[in-house]
Amino acid sequence: MRVAQFRGSVRCRRTPGGPLAFELSGRTAEPDDEQLTLAFAGEPPADLPEILPDALVEQSGAGEFRVTSGARVWVIAARSVHAHRDVRAAFYRAIPPRPAPLLRRLLLRSSLTIASSALGLKLVRFLRR
């Protein structure tokens, strides 16, 4: 069963001592092109390089995951895998940010204009007293 398909370079990071001892992170091959991090609850193979091109992660059995990159295949024995996706782009496509009200924009712009001059800074310091 396919877990994830990456496009481009995939970074392999080992974090010894923690419950999630190994991470793969990169861009997905899906049209969304999201940032994806897979955290494995198991030890990675010793010969796994730090960067993999175009990796495919599949679950080959209970507690066993295969990482394929090019002609090379690595088997990872892990209790589980946790997927973390960056969904900001999809969220803001669905719910666009609301523009600031005109009065607030004018107030902020005038405040910055006043504070950008020496006389304006003196006025701001005087009013803060």
Report the alpha-carbon distance of residue 64 to residue 79 in Å, rounded. 8
Rg, Å, the chain Cα set: 24
| Amino acid 60: pLDDT | 86
Contact between residue 7 and residue 29 where contact means Cβ atoms under 8 Å apart? yes
Element (H, E) at 74: strand 72-77
What is the 8-class DSSP label of residue 6?
E
Q: Where are the domains of the chain?
A: 2-91, 100-128
Query: Mind listing the pLDDT tens digit of every residue in the chain (129 residues)?
Result: 888 899 999 999 888 777 888 899 999 888 777 889 999 988 888 888 899 998 999 998 888 899 999 889 999 888 888 999 888 888 888 998 888 999 999 999 998 998 899 998 898 888 888
Contact between residue 112 and residue 100 where contact means Cβ atoms under 8 Å apart? no
| Amino acid 106: pLDDT | 95
Report the alpha-carbon distance of residue 96 to residue 76 in Å, rounded. 40
Cα–Cα–Cα angle for 95, 112, 120, nearest 5°?
165
